[in-house]
Amino acid sequence: MATFGEIGEFGFIERIEAGALPPAAGVRCGIGDDCAVLAGENSRVRLITSDLMVEGVHFVVEGSDPGGLGHKLLAVNLSDVAAMGGEPREALISLAIPPELDVGYMERVYRGLRGLAARFGVNVVGGDTTRSTGPLVMNLTLTGEMDQDRVCYRSGANPGDLIYVSGTLGDSAAGLKLALGESVGLSNADREILLCRHHRPEPRVALGRALAASGAVTAMLDLSDGVASDLRHICRQSGVSAVIDGTTIPVSTAFRRFRELSDTGARNLALSGGEDYELLFTVAHGGRDDVEALAAGPGISCIGRIVSGDGRIYLENAQGPRTELEARGFEHFSGSQAH
């Protein structure tokens, strides 16, 4: 006997994968990447992904912005499609709703979701609505499409590749701390920036497509659990290790001020805080100029390099010798953080 609290999310996924049926010929990639990849017609593939948000685990109803909740439910799925390099298409939404919830609240959730859907040309084509005996639970399934030769899997990184991230890291994790009541004497403008990055992440769909089209990306995923945890997926699936240069992690001015004013718990948020929803990708050395030429929008930063090895992540700093990063990052089952 073991409970989910004991084995955790990844432990359960490993058990489930172990007993899975052999995939059919049409399944290019099943469990284990940001999206499943299914063979389509005319050298195209179809992408499909699901993300679930549970009240009390991923969000609170009381005092929260319902529009932001709808935005985020779609954004986290768009981020998965972006991480393959794909174009988003259709969404299905399943809702388990407590009977006492105000209908106006859910209408505002939908408005937030539709605002983002309109920007990315996503059609909401169905789903399921039922009663919940407990928390509000929302699942969104998103489909996408792309050329089969351009799909960016997690498994293609090679020793010598450079490691990049888009945008800045840690803003969302700092925003969560602010949302949970941490008060560090930050200006209202900085607070707003960090809270917005937490509540309304901007999925990097255009950048993901451009990176995939460049042909220079060898592996890609989106950052949901922090570099320290997510880069490990690329390393394990590619059979390599990685060295991160701690001095090159891109952070925003607002985050830097938050970090200066916070206690020591904030120090590692840029590397191990969750929900950045930025892209983490590797580039063959010769592709450096190609991808850096693309760096419009959120911008990209080189933060390290792939080395031969067995799935370890090392951190280099000016201050001292190379250290190995622990597999930290948060898991939903651990329950230590609502986010």
State which of positions 65-94 bind a copy of itself (CB under 8 A).
Answer: 89-90, 92-94
- Residue 334 CB partners (closer than 8 Å, separation 6+): 8
**Can you read off the two tokens belonging to residue 100?**
């006492």
Which region among 116-124, 239-247, 288-296, 299-307 touches a copy of itself (by CB under 8 A)?
116-124
Which region among 9-17, 148-156, 270-278, 285-293 touches a copy of itself (by CB under 8 A)?
9-17
Site residue total, a copy of itself (CB under 8 A): 82
Would you say the C-alpha torsion 229, 335, 194, 141 has a positive or negative sign? positive
What span, in angstroms and rounded, lies between the C-alpha atoms of 54 and 40?
Answer: 33
| From candidates 57, 184, 251, 302, binder to a copy of itself by CB under 8 A | 57
| Minimum distance of a copy of itself from residue 320's CB (angstroms) | 37
**Can you read off the two tokens belonging to residue 196?**
């917005």
CA 198 distance to own-chain centroid: 12
CB of 42 or CB of 319, closer to a copy of itself: 42
| Minimum distance of a copy of itself from residue 94's CB (angstroms) | 4
**Can you read off the two tokens belonging to residue 41?**
């017609």
CB of 133 or CB of 188, closer to a copy of itself: 133
Among residues 262, 39, 300, 67, the alpha carbon closest in space to that of 165 is found at: 300
Which region among 27-35, 152-160, 294-302, 309-317 touches a copy of itself (by CB under 8 A)?
27-35
Beta carbons of 163 and 300 less than 8 angstroms apart: no
Site residues (CB under 8 A) for a copy of itself, limited to 91-110: 92-104, 106-107, 110
| Minimum distance of a copy of itself from residue 205's CB (angstroms) | 16
| From candidates 58, 71, 191, 199, binder to a copy of itself by CB under 8 A | 58
What span, in angstroms and rounded, lies between the C-alpha atoms of 226 and 319?
Answer: 22
CB of 1 or CB of 189, closer to a copy of itself: 1
| Minimum distance of a copy of itself from residue 73's CB (angstroms) | 12
Site residues (CB under 8 A) for a copy of itself, limited to 121-160: 121, 123-135, 137, 139, 141, 143
- CA distance to 112, 149, 206, per residue, from 203 (Å): 14, 22, 9
What span, in angstroms and rounded, lies between the C-alpha atoms of 211 and 84?
Answer: 10
Among residues 250, 228, 255, 230, the alpha carbon closest in space to that of 171 is found at: 255
| Minimum distance of a copy of itself from residue 305's CB (angstroms) | 30
Site residues (CB under 8 A) for a copy of itself, limited to 28-47: 29-31, 35-36, 38, 40-42, 46
| Minimum distance of a copy of itself from residue 118's CB (angstroms) | 6
Q: Which residues are registered as beta bridge partners of 129?
A: 95
| From candidates 61, 65, 108, 114, binder to a copy of itself by CB under 8 A | 114
CB of 54 or CB of 251, closer to a copy of itself: 54
State phi, psi for 139 to the nearest 5 degrees: -120, 135
| From candidates 23, 260, 267, 285, binder to a copy of itself by CB under 8 A | 23
| Minimum distance of a copy of itself from residue 148's CB (angstroms) | 13
The dihedral over CA atoms of 2, 8, 10, 12, expressed in degrees to the nearest 10, equals: 30
Q: Which residues are registered as beta bridge partners of 144?
A: 47, 88
| Minimum distance of a copy of itself from residue 41's CB (angstroms) | 4
Site residues (CB under 8 A) for a copy of itself, limited to 280-319: none
Q: What is the CA radius of gyration of the chain?
A: 20
